[in-house]
Amino acid sequence: MTQSPVAIPASPPVLRFAPSPTGLLHVGNARTALYNALLARRAGGTFILRYDDTDAARSTAAFAEAIAQDLDWLGIPPDRVARQSDRVALYRAAAERLKAMGRLYPAYESEEELEQRRLSRRRRGLPPIYDRAALALTGDDRARLEAEGRRPHWRFRLDGRAVSWVDGVRGAQTVDTATLSDPVLVREDGTFLYTLPSVVDDIDMGVTLVVRGEDHVTNTGVQIEIIEALGAVPPGFAHHNLLTLPSGEGLSKRLGHLSLRALREDGQEALAVAALAALTGTSLAVQAVPDLDTLAAKIDLAAISRAPARFDPDDLAGLTAATLHLADHAAVAERLAGLGIGGGAAFWNAVRGNLGRITDAARWWQVVTGPLAPVIAPEDRGFLDQALAVLPPEPWGEDVWPVWIAALKPSAGRSGRALFHPLRLALTAAESGPELKALLPLIGRERAAARLRGEAA
Ligand code: GLU
């Protein structure tokens, strides 16, 4: 008897979003966060929020808090939160290992000296990369420099080779690290630049896939070298295109471009922002989704374009409306309650198709609950008296509107707009809006009768 092969489940993926808490997240950051969070969610994996806060001068607790709130608002709260500022011991240990291997070496050049050397290399037609002069320093040289009061920064000695990976978005990629400067990993004051902590954390946290902006492609060549030097296997990498403003200008966290905070305060739907941020700049249709799982199911790294993509905030208004039109009552019930709006699913289903923003529901809640001053043209007075006379008695079910209209039409001798428009104006004081068929039972007989009589109710 042949035994069927045992299926070994692939271990669930671990993805992370690693913002520096130096500003408010913008839609481009949301794109990165969503890809990571939704790919993790779809596969039953883990989504980590990792604050890249080694830059103590620019990172703030308030921005970190705002980032967490923005992810909650988007509906992608992390499964785990980590702060690089809590993990410095790990980075120190990794730096010591690299030093012991001769891969991390001290260099003493000042910024001005480096700039001079770059200029002189350019003049000689050489690429302006670091010339590795510090590798030639003897122990005596170093002692002399330190006696002068110089402190070293530390550079990673690149192999200078073709580093290749298969990128989830861009396909086969190669970075020739021979064309790059040996990166500084540790500053003079002993603090770490982004490169090493990121690698150490990705290894330590078991990150399986790094999805980030294509501004990091070159870093990936460097980081794969460091990961391998530390004896680890690189995760997968996928570099998505960047979103720009409609003008083509890149988004800046520092300048507060298209911040999620501002879009939220403007009344845009989180799900609409998520759909636009994730689907713009891909071969997929940009459309409203009923929930994040639906969006997660659509995400396809291979469908992401290579060119930068313009994010047009003007598209957001339409998508916010379309998102509300799709939303189930359960998805909005809490927010409606917060706006003082009741009426349950019957009210929501009646009005959602007429909303541009969720706060517009307040106007229709007012129509349903009053008080409202009816709008009645003098020439319609008689018609509305007729309408009042045949207004069905209670109890009112869902069919009260067709029953009423069937009774009214022959006696009034009107049809179409001449029939419906005066009723709409009297009952809702508005030129247009949700179907009267759905609104009338919510308004109720007493209030409807008063409005037909011309009384505010
Ligand atoms: N803090 C980096 C950034 O926001 C993280 C890049 C990465 O994902 O490795 O660009």
- Is residue 171 within 8 A of residue 192, CB to CB? The reply is no
Structural domain of residue 362, as residue ranges?
A: 329-369
SS3 at position 7:
coil
SS3 of 62-96: HHHHHHHHHHHHHCCCCCEEEEHHHCHHHHHHHHH
Do 275 and 338 belong to one domain? no
Are 347 and 402 members of one domain?
no
Question: Checking phi first, is residue 343 left (phi over 0); if not, alpha (psi -120 to 50) or beta?
Answer: left
User: What CATH number is given to the structural domain containing 257?
Assistant: 3.40.50.620
Q: Is 203 helix (H, G, I), strand (E, B) or coil?
A: helix
> Is 13 within a domain?
yes
Calculate ∠ Cα 335-336-342, nearest 5°: 150
Q: Which residues approach ligand 1 with their CB closer than 6 A?
A: 18-20, 52, 194, 198, 210, 212, 216
Find residue 104's DSSP bridge partners.
156
* pLDDT recorded at residue 253: 84
Task: Tell me, in angstroms, the distance from the centre of ligand 1 to residue 198's CA.
Answer: 8
Confirm whether 204 is domain-assigned: no
pLDDT for 3 equals: 52
Among 226, 200, 227, 202, residue whose Cα is nearest residue 212: 202
CA pair distance 369, 372, nearest whole angstrom:
8
For residues 57 and 73, what is the distance between their CA atoms, to the nearest angstrom?
Answer: 27
CA of 195 to the centre of ligand 1 (A): 9
CA of 101 to the centre of ligand 1 (A): 27
**Spatial separation of the C-alpha atoms in residues 372 and 363, rounded to whole Å:** 10
Residue nearest to atom 10 of ligand 1 (CA): 19
Ligand 1 atom with the smallest distance to the CA of 212 is 8
Q: In this structure, which residue's CA is closest to atom 6 in ligand 1?
A: 18
Ligand 1 centroid – CA 291 distance (Å): 27
Mutate which of 34, 196, 212 for ligand 1? The one with the most ligand atoms within 8 Å of its CB, which is 212
Average pLDDT along the chain, 457 residues, taken 10 residues at a time: 59 96 96 98 98 94 98 98 98 98 97 95 94 96 96 98 98 98 97 97 98 97 98 98 93 87 96 97 96 97 95 93 97 97 97 98 97 97 97 95 96 93 98 97 98 97
Same domain, 388 and 442: yes
Backbone angles phi, psi at 392, to 5 degrees: -60, 150
385 lies in a domain? Answer: yes
Q: Which residues pair with 81 in a beta bridge?
A: 49
| Whole-number Å distance between alpha carbons of 260 and 27 | 6
Instruction: Give the whole-angstrom CA distance, residue 440 versus residue 394.
Output: 12
CATH of the domain at 125: 3.90.800.10
Q: 347: which 2 tokens?
A: 């009210």
- At 212, list the tokens: 């980030």
Domain boundary residue among 151, 186, 221? 186
CA atoms of 299 and 106, how far apart (whole Å): 44
The residue among 7, 8, 17, 9 whose CA lies nearest residue 209 is 17
**One domain for residues 26 and 66:** yes
* Same-domain pairing of 65 and 38: yes
Determine contact, residues 451/373, Cβ cutoff 8 Å.
no
The best mutation among 17, 20, 200, 243 to test binding of ligand 1, ranked by most ligand atoms within 8 Å of the C-beta, falls on 20
170 Cα: distance to centroid of ligand 1 (angstroms) = 18
Q: What is the 212 CA–ligand 1 centroid distance (Å)?
A: 7
For residues 389 and 399, is the Cβ–Cβ distance under 8 A? no
**Domain match, 70 and 142 both:** no
Q: Within this chain, do residues 349 and 291 fall inside the same structural domain, yes or no?
A: no
Angle between helices 217-229 and 195-204 (to 10 degrees): 60
Ligand 1 centre and the CA of 336: distance in Å? 37
Asked if residue 1 and residue 78 are part of one domain, the reply reads: yes
pTM of the model: 0.92
Q: What is the dihedral of CA 101, 105, 106, 112, to 10 degrees?
A: -170
Residue 193 lies in a domain: no
Cα(423) to ligand 1 centroid in Å equals 59
- Helix then strand then coil, in percent of the chain rounded to 5, is 50, 10, 40
Structural domain includes residue 170: no
Mutate to test the pocket of ligand 1, among 50, 52, 199 (most ligand atoms within 8 A of CB): 52
60/4 same-domain check: yes
d(CA 309, CA 281): 5
Q: Is the residue at 191 inside a domain?
A: no
Task: Tell me, yes or no, whether 156 and 137 share the same domain.
Answer: yes
Q: Write the burial class of residue 173 (CB in 10 Å: 0-12 exposed, 13-18 middle, 19+ buried).
A: middle
Report how far residue 271's alpha carbon sits from residue 34's, in angstroms, rounded to the nearest whole number.
Answer: 11
Q: 149 in a domain, yes or no?
A: yes
Residues 339 and 303 in one domain: no
In this structure, is residue 192 part of a structural domain?
Answer: no
Q: Which atom of ligand 1 is nearest to the CA of 16?
A: 8
User: Residue 223 CA: which ligand 1 atom is closest?
Assistant: 9
Atom of ligand 1 nearest to the CA of 202: 9
How far, in Å, is the centroid of ligand 1 from the Cα of 202?
11
Report the nearest atom of ligand 1 relative to the CA of 17.
8
**Number of separate domains in the chain:** 4
Say if residue 261 is in the same domain as residue 309: yes
Q: What pLDDT was estimated at residue 254?
A: 80
CA-closest residue to ligand 1 atom 5: 18
CA of 439 to the centre of ligand 1 (A): 50
| d(C-alpha 126, C-alpha 128), whole Å | 6
